[in-house]
Amino acid sequence: MRRLARLWFIVFTVLRFGLDEVALRGLRQPWVRALVRVVTVGRRFDEPRGVRLRQALERLGPLFVKFGQVLSTRRDLVPPDLADELAKLQDRVPPFPAVQARGLVEHALGRSVDEIFEHFEAEPVASASIAQVHFARLREGVTRGATAGREVAVKVLRPGMLSAIESDLELLHTLARWVERLSADGRRLRPREVVAEFDMHLHDELDLVREAANATQLRRNMQDLDLVLVPEMIWDLCTPTVIVMERMHGVPIGQVQRLHEAGVDFKKLARDGVTIFFTQVFRDGFFHADMHPGNIQVSLAPQTFGRYIALDFGIIGTLTERDKDYLAQNFIAFFRRDYKRVAELHVESGWVPASTRVDALESAIRAVCEPQFERPLKDISLGQVLLRLFQTSRRFNVEIQPQLVLLQKTLLNIEGLGRELDPDLDLWTTAKPFLERWMSQQVGWRAWLERLKAEAPRYAQLLPELPRLAHQALQRAPERDSPVLLALLAEQRRTNRLLTGLAWAALGFLLGMALTRAWLGG
């Protein structure tokens, strides 16, 4: 009955805000247009369709708000006017009562609030759809190394969140299946995988221990960069529903006037933001994927003046080595205006059919990207570039990669942040040296040594077993085209190449030593 009531509420909201009219008007068949006239009888909609969609999502609750935020980054799925309006969705909701927050903290940590904290602020400093945050001060000795009065932030998960979203997620999965079956672009846009990606990240946000682990990993990755601060987690006080972390003191990056008055160098701040983003993406493959202004502050403390402060680690993006290599090569090809290489990469990766004409795809990409170069950031909209690329991709049946949705969203956030900090920042020129340096590390001799070092234990274990494995494979599958035999032969060839390389390296080293001794002796 609860699910039925929820479904009725959703249908009522759709009809109230005229979303049925929005969906049907996008179809061009004559009978559909006639149906639109029928379903809109007695209803008048004065607001634009984007405003109505945004208001409906806000009315339907946190899950739909978050899905609207994701859709705002998928300009291949929604028209520009809808995407622009969805981007205005604010992840701010009224806080739940302080008494309830204290009860949740005590239930999660197994002790009263007064035993753990010297002071616990009843008024939350932030209230979002998933959780809210209270400032507090720890009591001495409550955790290992805790000092009296240490300032912390306590993040409390909203009660009943998991059960509240499960039924809505089922509806989203059903809707995605319908879109894939009924839409001409359904298979290419892969809506079921997009919703599955959203489902996964939403469940990750509901586990605050995972968020604490994300923060710890990001803090470890960024500690040698000296450009961004990440709060330390108090692990003795972290549970799936409540986490306690170091309180960070900074100015929200949206308070531009205050930062100006403090003497912050905005041009450096913009460059540092680009460096942080590309370091997280291409060096670590682990990046903060929710970098809107509400989650970013700037430190004004003398020791860390001008550094970024990152907050809220519920949404983290990850990339495989293959993803990183593909993206880096694409970026470098873009920076060099090598559009043929960009087209070839799309074919090699399997993102477009193998029968695609490379020259036609190259020409289409050139028409999108060439006008954007050598212009300051204030004159470049990455959103518009992505939009035109998505429109181009539709012509060539490019498959949208769900694992890159968060990267696209983060890149758009970086664009907005950079435009606010330094309108004259040239994103392309700033990023190109970083990517070229990264690529040289991936394909140069240093990269070869690192891979050799990483593979050495595996080869040390495999080499003594090769004769036995070869004998067993030959007995089980004598045919030359046996997959097992072919895989074994490929591994053996790879091992032989490695051993040959090592032998030549050793020979070169010994020869060098001999020549050195002869020269010294002479």
> Which residues are CB-contacts of 367 (< 8 A; sequence separation ≥ 6)?
none
Question: Who has greater pLDDT, 402 or 243?
Answer: 243
What's the pLDDT score for residue 100?
A: 93
Per-residue pLDDT tens over the stretch 269-325: 988 988 898 889 888 889 998 877 778 999 999 999 999 999 999 888 888 877 777
Least confident of 239-253, 334-348, 473-487: 473-487
The domain limits of the chain are 1-89, 250-443, 451-521
Active-site option among 91, 290, 312, 323: 290
In this prediction, residue 29 has a pLDDT band, given cuts at 50, 70 and 90, of: low
Distance, in Å, from the CA atom of 438 to the CA atom of 334, rounded to the nearest integer, reads 15
Residue-level pLDDT at 261: 93
Query: pLDDT: is 373 or 383 the higher one?
Result: 373
User: Which pLDDT does position 115 carry in this prediction?
Assistant: 92
Question: Looking at per-residue confidence, does 24 or 450 come out higher?
Answer: 450
Place of tokens 């927050």: 101
Rounded to whole angstroms, the Cα distance separating 211 from 214 reads: 5
Lowest mean pLDDT of 189-193, 304-308, 460-464, name the range.
Answer: 189-193
CA–CA separation, 358 and 360 (whole Å):
5
Tokens matching residue 148: 């009296």
| Cα(459)–Cα(501) distance, integer angstroms | 14
The pLDDT of residue 370: 80
Q: What does the angle CA 30 – CA 35 – CA 39 come to, to the nearest 5 degrees? A: 155
Distance between CA atoms of residues 328 and 291, nearest Å: 21
Active site residue 323: no
Check pLDDT > 60 for residue 91. Answer: no
Please state, for a pLDDT cut of 70, what percent of the chain lies above it. 69
Average pLDDT over residues 331-351: 79
pLDDT at 395 over 80: no
**pLDDT on residue 11:** 78
What is the 8-class DSSP label of residue 157?
E
Question: Distance between CA atoms of 178 and 175, rounded to whole angstroms?
Answer: 5
pLDDT mean over 333-355: 79
Q: Which of 69-83, 208-222, 459-473 is predicted most confidently?
A: 208-222
The reported pLDDT for the residue numbered 399 is 65
pLDDT exceeds cutoff 70 at 478: no
Q: List pLDDT tens digits, range 257-278.
A: 999 999 999 989 988 988 898 8
Confidence at residue 366, expressed as pLDDT on a 0 to 100 scale:
86
Confidence band for 423, pLDDT divided at 50, 70 and 90 = confident
Q: Which two tokens stand for residue 307?
A: 């550094």
